A and B are shown apart, each in its own frame.
Chain A
Amino acid sequence: MTDIIGTTPALPVKRPRLSPLNARRWQNFKANRRGWWALWIFLFLFVASLLAEFIANDKPIIVSYKGETLFPVLVDYPEEKFGGFYAVTDYRDPVIQEEINRNGWSIWPPVRYSYRTVNNELPDTAPSKPFWLFTPEERCARYPQGVDDPNCVFGNMNILGTDDQARDVFARALYGFRISVLFGLILTAASAVIGVTAGALQGYFGGWLDLIAQRFIEIWSSIPTLYLLLIMASILPPGFWILLCIMLLFSWVSFVGIVRAEFLRARNFEYVNAARALGVRNRTIMFRHLLPNAMVTTLTFLPFILNGSITTLTSLDFLGFGLPPGSPSLGELLAQGKNNLQAPWLGLTGFIVISLMLSLLIFVGEATRDAFDPRKAFK
C-alpha cells in the first residue's frame, strides 16, 4: 500500500506538551506584542498585590525579640508579649518599637501603613499631600525629634498622600487593586461555571428543557440588576461575599447564549455522532467533544466579562453601596476624590489605577481573541 505513512522506523512521536492547536494559539498570543506585555505587567501587579501584606503593612515582617523570632505579619501577638496590656499589638506605637529595639530588631515592609492605618503624625490636615510636595523639615514636623526621629524614614512617608481619614493612599490603592481583581476573577469564574453548565445542558438536550430555560433567562435578565443590588444592599449586611453572590445571580446569564449556540451547532457534528455510536455517555461527550468548541468563544468573552464585573464593583463602591465602610476600594477612592477636589492625588490615583487595570485586561483579552481566531493563521 502506498498509503502507509512514516515507513522508516522513526523514533516514536512523543505526545507534545501542548497540542499543535494550542501551540499555534500560544504563538498567535505572543505575536500580539501589546497583549503579551500587558499580560506580564498585569501578572506582576497582581502577584505584587497578592503579597500586599508584605509591601504595605502596619506590622513588621519579622521581629527578633528576646531571642525569639516572631512573624507579626502572619500571627497576631498580644501586647503582653512586649510588656503591654492590649489584646493586639500596635507596632507603630513608639513605646513598643523602643521595647523591641532594646531587646532585638525588626524588619518593616517598605511602606509602614496598611489600608486602614491612620497616620497620626500627619504633616498637614487630612487629606494631606504626597510627601515629596513637602520640605524634609515639614514631613517630620509632628514627630517628637523632628527630622532626627527614628520614625522619620521613607516607610512612614505617604508616597501618594493620604485620604480624608489620614489613611495612606498608596496602601489603599494596592489593597483596592487586589480586592477588585479578586472580586472580578471569582465572579467571572463562578458565573462561567454556572453559565457554561446551563448553556451546555440547554444546547445539548434542546427541546423542552431549552425552551423553558430560555424563557426563564429572558425574564430573569430583564430584572434591572442595579436597582436590585441597591435594594439588597440596604437589607443585607454589606460584604465581599454577599455582594459577590448577588451579582452572581445575574452575571452567569451572559455566558448562556454563546455556549448554548455552540452546543446546538456542534451536537450534530459527525464526530459527536461517532462518539454516540461508540456508546460514549452524554456527560463524556459534552466534556470531551463539545466543551472545547464552546470554550473558544467563552475564553474570548472572559476578559471583557471580567472587566465588566470590576467596573460594576467600582461603581457600587463609588455610590456607597458596595463593600463595607473602611474596606480598601477603588470606587471609594474615586468618591473621595470627587468630594475633595482640593486633593487631586485622590482622584488621580483612583483614575490611573482603574484605567491601567482595565486597559491591561482588555489588551490581554484582545490577544486572547487573536489567539483563538482561526483565520489568524497567516501573518
Chain B
Amino acid sequence: MTAPLLSVRDLSVAFSQGGKETLAVDRISFDIGEGETVALVGESGSGKSVTALSVLKLLPYPPASHPSGQILFGGKDLLASSENELRRVRGNDITMIFQEPMTSLNPLHTIEDQISEILKLHQGMADKAARQRTLALLEEVGIRDPEKRMNAYPHQLSGGQRQRVMIAMALANKPKLLIADEPTTALDVTVQAQILQLLADLKAAQGMSMLFITHDLGIVRKIADRVCVMTGGKIVETGPTREIFENPQHPYTRHLLAAEPKGNPPAANAAAAPVMRGENIKVWFPIKQGFLRKTVDHVKAVDGIDVTIRAGQTLGVVGESGSGKTTLGLALSRMISSEGVIRFGETDINKYSFREMRPLRRELQIVFQDPYGSLSPRMSVADIIAEGLEVHEPKLSADERDARVVAALKEVNLDPENRFRYPHEFSGGQRQRIALARAMVLNPRFVMLDEPTSALDMSVQAQVVDLLRALQQKHNLAYLFISHDLKVVKALANEVLVMRNGKAVEYGPSEEIFARPKTDYTRALMAAAFRIETAEQGAVSE
C-alpha cells in the first residue's frame, strides 16, 4: 500500500483560558489516502471541526496549542512547519470550505475578484487567463450563466450558489486534499443533495482526497469511503463506511445510528376542534421604485393560503427556502401583518392591534429556529421563562412564579436546580428545551414551531421531536410545524402543507402525501430528505 496523502498521528489540541487547560482533541490518529473520502462524524463539541482546522493550523494560537501529535502531509509535518511553508500549502495543496457560505465570502468583492485573486496569488496568472479559468471553474461547479454571474456580489446569490462559489475557490488551484467542514448544514435539503452530488462528481473527476466533517450520518453513508466516529475529542471507531453502518462496534456509534427522528404521529382526526384557521392568507411585500416610491409590484411571500390547525394535531409546513413557510407562520401568529381572515377559536384576530393581541399571546406561542439567538444572553433561565408569566399573570407572587418555572422545566426534562444559570452554559438541545419551557409555562393552545430542530445535532433532533410529541398529547396542543426537513415532519405531523413560491402545492393528511406525492416538487423534496438524491432540473428552484 502506498503512503497515505495525509496522516494524522496522535494529534491533541488544547485550549487555555484563564489558566485552565481544556483538551478539545485527545490523541487521535487517522489517514487519508489518495482519492479517498474520509468522514469525521460526531456531535457538536466532539472536536471534529477543531481537528479539521488544526490540519492547516488555522486555530487561534496561543489559546490553542498542540501538546502532542504530527500531521504528515506528503511526508512533511505541518505542525512543525513555518508560517511561510504553511502558506504555500494552504489554498494550494489543501483547501477548505466552511459551513456558513454567507460569511465565508467577502461581501464587498464580486465573485470574479475573489476567485481570480487566488489564481493570481498562487499561480501568478495574468488577468485574462485568470478570467478564463474563473469562468471554467464556475461552469464546473454548476453555476448557470457563469458569464453573467461573475460580476455578482455574494448577497446577490442564494445560499447554494454561494457554497458553489466557495467550492470553485477551493478547487481553483487543483488541491490534493479538500477539507469540507459541514458544507451543507446551513443549506436546504434539496440544495444539500445537489452540493453533495457536485462534491462527489468533482472528486471523481479530479482524483482529489476529501476530509468531510458532518454530524449527519445520512450524508456519510452517501459520500464517504471511510468513517471516523468522534466523541469527546477521541476517535472511538474507524472503518470502511459499509462496515460501520452494518456492524457498528462502539456503543456511541450505535447511539448515533439509532438517533434518527422516529415514530409516527397520531392519525389525523378531522373531528378535532379547529384552533386556528387561516382563510386566503396573503402577505405581499411591495416593491417600490422611483422618486415617489410608487409601488410597482409585489413580492408575494404568501399568496392565498387556507389552513386549519386542530387541537392535538400538527400541521407540518414544508418547502424549500424562500417558499414562504416562515412568513405564513409569522402571519398566522400575528407577528407580521397580512390579508385574509385568521380565526383563533371563533374570533377573527387578523385586525387586532398589538394591544388587543396581548391577552391572546399566552395561548399562541412561538418557538424559534435558533436556540442560540432566541434566548437573551443576559438573563438567567428562570428570568427567561418567567418573562411571559410577568406579562400574563402579573398577580403571581415571586414564589408562585418560581413554582411555575420549576414545573415548566420539569415538563421539558431539564433539571430545575439549574434555573439560575445563563443560556450559554447549556447545549443547543437544552437551550431548545428552555425555549419550549418558555412557551409551555403559559399553557398555550397553539404553538408555532419554526424549524425548531434544524440547528440541532441529529441525535438531539430525535429527542426534541419525542418531547414535542409527548407535550402535544399531554396538553392537547395544536402545532404549526415549519421545516424543510421531511424526516422530522414525517415523525411529527399528521397533516402536511407543501409550499412553493408562496402557494400551496399539496395539502392533506401526511400518510397520503408521503405515500403518494402528487407533484415532482414534493417528490424532489422527499428524495433529498430521505435518500439525499437530487431531482431533475426544474423540479426545485435551484
- Chain B at the A interface: mostly helix, strand, loop or mixed? loop
A274 and B374 alpha carbons, distance in the complex (Å): 6
Beta-carbon contact of A277 and B361 below 8 Å:
yes
**B422 in complex: contacting residue of A20, A274, A280, CB < 8 Å:** A20
B358 / chain A contacts, CB cutoff of 8 Å:
279
Beta-carbon contact of B387 and A278 below 8 Å:
yes
Beta-carbon contact of A13 and B421 below 8 Å:
yes
A231 and B164 alpha carbons, distance in the complex (Å): 65
A81 interface hit (Cβ, 8 Å)? no
**B378 in complex: contacting residue of A4, A10, A279, A292, CB < 8 Å:** A292
Beta-carbon contact of A1 and B463 below 8 Å:
yes
B377 interface hit (Cβ, 8 Å)? yes
A16 and B421 alpha carbons, distance in the complex (Å): 9
Q: Do A21 and B377 form a contact, CB below 8 Å, given A378-B63, A379-B18?
A: yes
Interface stretch of the complex, out of A100-108, A170-178, A265-273: A265-273
| Residues 357-404 (chain B) with a chain A CB within 8 angstroms | 357-359, 361-362, 365-366, 368-370, 373-380, 387-388, 391-392
Q: Do A13 and B417 form a contact, CB below 8 Å, given A270-B374, A277-B366, A289-B376?
A: yes
B377 / chain A contacts, CB cutoff of 8 Å:
21
Beta-carbon contact of A276 and B387 below 8 Å:
no
B362 / chain A contacts, CB cutoff of 8 Å:
279
Beta-carbon contact of A378 and B373 below 8 Å:
no
A281 and B359 alpha carbons, distance in the complex (Å): 12
A141 and B16 alpha carbons, distance in the complex (Å): 70
**A9 in complex: contacting residue of B373, B376, B379, B417, CB < 8 Å:** B417
Give the distance to chain A from B150, nearest Cβ to Cβ, in Å. 32
Give the distance to chain A from B238, nearest Cβ to Cβ, in Å. 23
Instruction: Annotate A289-310 by CB proximity to B: 1 below 8 A, 0 otherwise.
Output: 1001000000000000000000
Beta-carbon contact of A21 and B438 below 8 Å:
no
Q: Do A7 and B415 form a contact, CB below 8 Å, given A19-B422, A274-B368, A274-B374?
A: yes
A7 and B414 alpha carbons, distance in the complex (Å): 9
Beta-carbon contact of A19 and B378 below 8 Å:
yes
A261 and B52 alpha carbons, distance in the complex (Å): 37
A274 and B438 alpha carbons, distance in the complex (Å): 10
Give the distance to chain A from B395, nearest Cβ to Cβ, in Å. 16
A224 interface hit (Cβ, 8 Å)? no
Instruction: Annotate B423-465 by CB proximity to A: 1 below 8 A, 0 otherwise.
Output: 0111101100101001000100000000000000000100100
B156 interface hit (Cβ, 8 Å)? no
Beta-carbon contact of A10 and B368 below 8 Å:
no
Beta-carbon contact of B418 and A274 below 8 Å:
no
A378 and B14 alpha carbons, distance in the complex (Å): 14
B530 / chain A contacts, CB cutoff of 8 Å:
none
Instruction: Annotate B157-186 by CB proximity to A: 1 below 8 A, 0 otherwise.
Output: 000000000000000000000000000000
A14 and B420 alpha carbons, distance in the complex (Å): 7
Beta-carbon contact of B418 and A3 below 8 Å:
no
Q: Which residue of A lies closest to B366 (CB)?
A: A277
Most chain A Cβ neighbours within 10 Å, of B359, B365, B374: B374
Beta-carbon contact of B460 and A3 below 8 Å:
yes
A102 and B366 alpha carbons, distance in the complex (Å): 84
Beta-carbon contact of A277 and B365 below 8 Å:
yes
B335 interface hit (Cβ, 8 Å)? yes
Give the distance to chain B from A280, nearest Cβ to Cβ, in Å. 5
B295 interface hit (Cβ, 8 Å)? no
Q: Which residue of A lies closest to B368 (CB)?
A: A270
Q: Do A279 and B388 form a contact, CB below 8 Å, given A1-B463, A13-B420?
A: yes
A3 / chain B contacts, CB cutoff of 8 Å:
413, 427, 429-430, 433, 460, 463
B366 / chain A contacts, CB cutoff of 8 Å:
273-274, 277
Beta-carbon contact of B414 and A5 below 8 Å:
yes
**A5 in complex: contacting residue of B359, B388, B430, B442, CB < 8 Å:** B430
Q: Which residue of A lies closest to B18 (CB)?
A: A379
Q: How extensive is the interface on chain B, given as a class?
A: 35 or more
Q: Do A378 and B463 form a contact, CB below 8 Å, given A19-B378, A274-B366, A277-B365?
A: no
A6 and B414 alpha carbons, distance in the complex (Å): 9
A275 interface hit (Cβ, 8 Å)? yes
Q: Which residue of A lies closest to B420 (CB)?
A: A15
B247 interface hit (Cβ, 8 Å)? no
A278 and B393 alpha carbons, distance in the complex (Å): 12
B17 interface hit (Cβ, 8 Å)? yes
Instruction: Annotate A5-47 by CB proximity to B: 1 below 8 A, 0 otherwise.
Output: 1110110111110011100000100000000000000000000
A66 interface hit (Cβ, 8 Å)? no
A21 / chain B contacts, CB cutoff of 8 Å:
377-378, 422
A182 interface hit (Cβ, 8 Å)? no
**B438 in complex: contacting residue of A2, A20, A278, CB < 8 Å:** A278
B209 interface hit (Cβ, 8 Å)? no
B314 interface hit (Cβ, 8 Å)? no
Beta-carbon contact of B365 and A6 below 8 Å:
no
B413 / chain A contacts, CB cutoff of 8 Å:
1, 3-4
A338 interface hit (Cβ, 8 Å)? no
Q: Do A15 and B380 form a contact, CB below 8 Å, given A3-B433, A274-B366, A275-B387?
A: yes
B333 interface hit (Cβ, 8 Å)? yes
Beta-carbon contact of A12 and B417 below 8 Å:
yes
A1 and B412 alpha carbons, distance in the complex (Å): 11
Instruction: Annotate A336-379 by CB proximity to B: 1 below 8 A, 0 otherwise.
Output: 00000000000000000000000000000000000000000111
Give the distance to chain A from B241, nearest Cβ to Cβ, in Å. 25
Beta-carbon contact of B368 and A4 below 8 Å:
no
Beta-carbon contact of A277 and B415 below 8 Å:
no
Q: Which residue of A lies closest to B16 (CB)?
A: A378
A10 / chain B contacts, CB cutoff of 8 Å:
417
B387 / chain A contacts, CB cutoff of 8 Å:
275, 278, 280, 288
A199 and B378 alpha carbons, distance in the complex (Å): 21
Beta-carbon contact of A378 and B426 below 8 Å:
no
Give the distance to chain B from A286, nearest Cβ to Cβ, in Å. 13
| Residues 233-272 (chain A) with a chain B CB within 8 angstroms | 269-271
Q: Which residue of A lies closest to B435 (CB)?
A: A274
A224 and B93 alpha carbons, distance in the complex (Å): 60
Interface residues of B (CB under 8 A from A): 16-18, 60, 62-63, 333, 335, 357-359, 361-362, 365-366, 368-370, 373-380, 387-388, 391-392, 413-415, 417-422, 424-427, 429-430, 433, 435, 438, 442, 460, 463
Residue pairs across A and B with Cβ atoms less than 8 A apart, 29 shown, are A1-B413, A2-B463, A3-B427, A3-B460, A5-B415, A6-B415, A12-B417, A13-B419, A13-B420, A13-B421, A15-B420, A20-B422, A20-B424, A21-B377, A21-B378, A270-B369, A270-B370, A273-B335, A273-B366, A277-B333, A277-B335, A277-B365, A279-B388, A279-B391, A279-B392, A280-B387, A280-B391, A289-B376, A379-B18
Interface residues of A (CB under 8 A from B): 1-7, 9-10, 12-16, 19-21, 27, 269-271, 273-281, 284, 288-289, 292, 377-379
Q: Which 3 A-B pairs have the closest CB atoms?
A: A279-B361, A270-B373, A278-B388
Known: A3-B427, A277-B361. 8 other contacts (CB 8 A): A3-B430, A5-B414, A16-B420, A271-B373, A273-B335, A276-B335, A280-B387, A292-B378
